[in-house]
Amino acid sequence: MKQILAVGLGGMIGALLRSGIYMVAADGLGLWLVNMIGSFLIGVAAIRLSHKSGELRLLISTGLLGSFTTFSAFSSAWFHYLESSIWLGIAFAFSMTLACIAAAGAGLWVDRKEVS
Contact in structure between 73 and 31 (CB atoms under 8 Å): yes
Half-sphere exposure of 70 (CA within 13 A, CB side): 22
63 labeled binding residue: no
97 labeled binding residue: no
At residue 85, what are phi and psi to the nearest 5 degrees? -165, 130
Side chain identity, residue 39: S
Side chain identity, residue 16: L
DSSP per residue, 58-113: IIIIIIIIHHHS-HHHHHHHHHHHHHH-HHHHHHHHHHHHHHHHHHHHHHHHHHHH
Binding residue ranges: 66, 69
Annotated binding site for Na(+): 66, 69
